[in-house]
Structure formats: structure tokens, C-alpha cells
Amino acid sequence: MGPTRKPNVCRQLSRRALGFFSRDAGVVQRTNLGILRALVCQESTKFKNVWTTHSKSPIAYERGRIYFDNYRCCVSSIASEPRKLYEMPKCSKSEKIEDALLWECPVGEILPNPSDYKSSLIALTAHNWLFRISATTGKVLEKIYLASYCKFRYLSWDTPQEVIAVKSAQNKGSVLARQAGIQQPVLLYLAVFHVLPFSLIGILEINKNIFGNVTDATLSHGILIVMYSSGLVRLYSFQAITEQFMQQKLDLGCACRWGGTAGTVGEAPFGIPCNIKITDTPPLLFEVSSLENAFQIGGHPWHYIITPNKKKQKGVFHICALKDNSLNENLPVVTASGRVVKKNFNLLDDDPEQETFKIVDYEDELDLLSVVAVTQIDAEGKAHLDFHCNEYGTLLKSIPLVESWDVTYSHEVYFDRDLVLHIEQKPSRVFSCYVYQMVCDPAEEETTNRSCEKE
């Protein structure tokens, strides 16, 4: 058990007002977050369901903003009731936004336009346009036409806040080709860009003639990750692939001639040609076998997390050293931000007679582990969100969710400072959003304030 001494919020606020932390912005921020953590976890603090809404289109959440109608409508989650930030003009189904990422201003970089210092939404549309949209007004700031030779569908960060990867849908080929037994050699395409301002790195094709019977591929932290149905995962250096196999360097907005066709790179109808075509197997960095291709890499020193490639091992995770594949059962997980997750959870099988963990996440700013636990009562499930001390694993706070929890539905739960948000997908594509905000019991808060004044 760890120490039970609680931080004195009043004392911390007084010290901050007197300038004790003014010389170091990092210390001020850590102090502020420490105060917020103490307020979140104190007994008098409750999380109240302030509003609930339903939608027939997917609902997404990013940094205090809730997106409806395929990102067309943006609502602030900070207010005690929904406050619309913007609503973009209605569009056809072929022009809807299919995926999006929130970009936030980098620290210490000089940017070309004043608007670049504000958050933007990087959005991919159904008709293969890549937009940069103001996160506060919904105005389109930049746009790029990708291509007509494939259907791009997914956005992800290669390097967070710096490099994005746009992945196409998998190429299944025509019905006639499949009936004739003709396989398409190209499985998918990956378009890679630096962000703000957008600059093209290249578009890479994943070809089965090179990688074999590959089932999926993605890009993360400069590593091309290729996956196979057997559970095999292979890693390659994207930089090495780019240097060896790029056919021609392309620049957005510049004239280009490609395959007998001329146009402007990134503008319709020319788009962006696939300029990285691997003609020989690139050098292999690393390979490992994992159940359902579950694989994560990171930390310092480098480690990776896998699930042993056997069905009975589902829910078991191994943390291994990248340098020699050695298993370390006692090693804490180190996040990309350098924080350490020390508490271990065993995934429980669904059992109506016991409480089961459904979602486990780490709130890095407050250094808390959040756990959604569900108890099945007859046909209805009830859930509560628990906050655990990351250092000692002790339970600090439990927040009951007022809505019922059906384990057959898809659920997402976000804990973001003083906000808890639950997004639920029901059958027939009905989506629900439940917003909880932190409140303090006035009577208990007054007692707490009186005790602080005496110190």
C-alpha cells in the first residue's frame, strides 16, 4: 500500500498564486494537473450525467469536441449542455467525411499562416479528398485530391502530430476476376504526408508478389508493418523503402507527367500517382507471431507487446525486449510520453455471475488508470468507471454510469480530465452519447473549504 497523505489543494493554489512555480512552465502545469487529480478523486466529487443524445450516424470524440453526422457537426462537450461550435454545409453521400484526425499546433515551430497555430481536423472524404479543416469554425483551409485508381478509407498517425498515413480499402478485384481465379497483386495503397503545411512523402503499394499472401499492412513510427493470416507480423523500414524504391519525387501543386498523362499533383482529376513501387523484397527488420496480429511496439528501451499465437491464450499479453525477444513478466509498460504503467490487469472471461473488465485505459495527464467494469443483472448490465492509482494500483474513485450496458453492443468510454463520455452503438446503426461532468457536493465542499482555511 502507498502513502495515504492527500495533497492540500488550498496550499497548492496559494503557492501557485505567490509565484512559487513561475520560473518553470512545466512545474506549473504539473501542479495544476496534481490539483485537478486531487479534486477528481476526493470523496465529495461526483460525475453527473449532464446530457444525452442519439444519432443515426457515427459519433466521434476528440479533445473536448463531439462530432456528429460524419464530422459535419461539431459540439463542445465542455458546457453543461450541448453548444454547437459549427455545422458544415450538407453534402452528398459521396462527399461525406469517412475518417478524421485532430491536429494540434506543434511547439517551437514557425508556421506560414496565423490560422496554422490553431487546431485543425484532417479529414478524408468518401470521394478521395484530404481536407484540413479549422477545428473551431469548420472552414476548409487546405485540400488535396488523392487519386482515382483506389478508394482511400482510413487515416492514422505515422508520427503523432507530424506524419499521417492514408490507407486505401483492400483491393478485392472484380467479381468476374474472382470467379475466374484471377488475383489482384496489389492489396492496398498507403499515402504518406507531412502535415502543416501538407507535403507529400509518397504513395506506396503493398504488392502480394513481393510480400507474399499478406492480409493487411499499416505504417507506424516510420515502420511498415505487414500482417499475415497465420498471425505473422513483419517489420520494415519505410525510410529505407522510400530511398530504394521511389520512382520519382513528387511535390504537391507542381506539374507532373506520369504514364502519358499530365496534370498537377494533388489536384483533380490528376491526383497523386503511386510513386513508390517495391520491386524486390526489402530488408527485414523484425518478425514475430501473434494471435490475430495483435502487436504494439514502443517504450524505452524498446519493447513489444504480443498475444501468444494460440486461441486459448486470448487475453494474455507478453512484454518482450526488442533486442533479444526475451520475455519480462515484471517489466512496467512505458508510454510514448515517458510515463510508466505499473498496474497489471488480468482480462476476465464474460460470466454473468461476476464483474468483468471491459475497457482499461491510462489517463496520462492525471496518471490514473481508468477501468470500466460491468455486472450483469438478469438481462441488464450495469457499469461503473473506476480510477486506480497508477503507482500503487489502489482504487481511488468509482463512478456509476446511469445508463444500462449491453455487452453485445459496441462501446467507447473516454475519461478526459473532468469529463467522462460514453459512446454506444446499438443495432441498426443507432448511436448514443452520454456526457458526464465533474461536480462537487456543495455541503461537503463547504466543509472542505472551512478545514482548508484553518490550516
State the average pLDDT over residues 222-229: 94
Q: What is the mean pLDDT of the chain?
A: 84
Cβ(66)–Cβ(60) below 8 Å: yes
SS3 188: strand
Q: What DSSP designation does 275 have?
A: -
Give pLDDT, residue 443.
56
Query: What is the tens place of the pLDDT at every residue in 229-285?
Result: 999 999 999 999 999 999 999 999 999 999 889 999 999 999 999 999 999 999 999
DSSP 78-112: SSSS-EEEEEPPP--GGGSEEEEEEE-PPTT---S
Query: Taking the CB of residue 271, how many other CB atoms lie within 10 A of it?
Result: 21
| 179 conformational bin, left if phi > 0, alpha if psi -120 to 50, beta if neither | alpha
Is the sign of the CA dihedral 156, 158, 162, 167 positive or negative? negative
Give pLDDT, residue 380.
79
Query: What is the tens place of the pLDDT at every residue in 149-171?
Result: 999 999 999 998 899 999 999 98
- pLDDT band of residue 2 (cuts 50, 70, 90) is low
Residue 338 has pLDDT above 50, yes or no: no
Residue pointed to by grid coordinates 472542505: 448
Give pLDDT, residue 423.
96
Give pLDDT, residue 345.
44
State the average pLDDT over residues 14-19: 59
Query: Taking the CB of residue 277, how many other CB atoms lie within 10 A of it?
Result: 14
Distance CA 296, CA 364 (A): 18
Q: Roughly what angle, to the nearest 10 degrees, separates helices 25-41 and 9-17?
A: 160
Cell of 311: 486461441
Give pLDDT, residue 18.
52
Q: How far is CA 6 from CA 3, 35, 38, 111, 367, in A?
A: 9, 11, 8, 43, 15
Burial 166-192 (b: 16+ CB within 10 A, else e): bbbebbeeeeeeeeeeeeeebbbbbbb
Residue 349 has pLDDT above 60, yes or no: no
Residue 55 has pLDDT above 90, yes or no: yes
Give pLDDT, residue 434.
95
State the average pLDDT over residues 56-66: 91
Lowest model confidence (mean pLDDT) among 194-198, 333-337, 350-354 = 333-337
State the average pLDDT over residues 121-134: 96
- pLDDT band of residue 401 (cuts 50, 70, 90) is very high
Sequence-separated (6 or more) residues with CB below 8 Å from residue 73: 67, 84, 86, 87, 88
Cβ(183)–Cβ(208) below 8 Å: yes
Lowest model confidence (mean pLDDT) among 119-123, 136-140, 313-317, 384-388 = 313-317
Residue 363 has pLDDT above 60, yes or no: yes
Residue 344 has pLDDT above 70, yes or no: no
Give pLDDT, residue 194.
93
- Percent pLDDT > 90 in the chain is 50
- pLDDT band of residue 147 (cuts 50, 70, 90) is very high
Sequence-separated (6 or more) residues with CB below 8 Å from residue 359: 370, 371, 372, 411, 412, 413
**Peptide bond preceding 185 in cis form (omega within 30 of 0):** no
List, in sequence order, every residue forming a beta bridge with 157; answer none if it has no partner: 164
Sequence-separated (6 or more) residues with CB below 8 Å from residue 153: 98, 99, 124, 167, 168, 169
**CA angle, residues 70, 74, 76, in degrees to nearest 5:** 140
Give pLDDT, residue 32.
81
Lowest model confidence (mean pLDDT) among 102-111, 181-190, 362-371 = 102-111
Lowest model confidence (mean pLDDT) among 41-55, 119-133, 268-282, 353-367 = 353-367
Q: Is 230 exposed, middle or buried (0-12, 13-18, 19+ CB in 10 A)?
A: exposed
Residue 145 has pLDDT above 70, yes or no: yes
- pLDDT band of residue 451 (cuts 50, 70, 90) is very low
- Percent pLDDT > 70 in the chain is 84
Give pLDDT, residue 153.
96
Kindly provide the residue ranges of all beta strands, DSSP E only, lying in 112-230, ordered along the sequence.
Answer: 120-125, 129-134, 140-145, 152-159, 163-168, 186-194, 199-207, 214-220, 223-228
Choose between 183 and 450: higher pLDDT. Answer: 183
User: Could you tell me how far CA 302 lies from the centroid of its own chain?
Assistant: 21
Residue 77 identity (one-letter amino acid): S
Give pLDDT, residue 364.
85
| 416 conformational bin, left if phi > 0, alpha if psi -120 to 50, beta if neither | beta
Residue pointed to by grid coordinates 461525406: 96
Q: What DSSP designation does 137 have?
A: T
- pLDDT band of residue 22 (cuts 50, 70, 90) is low
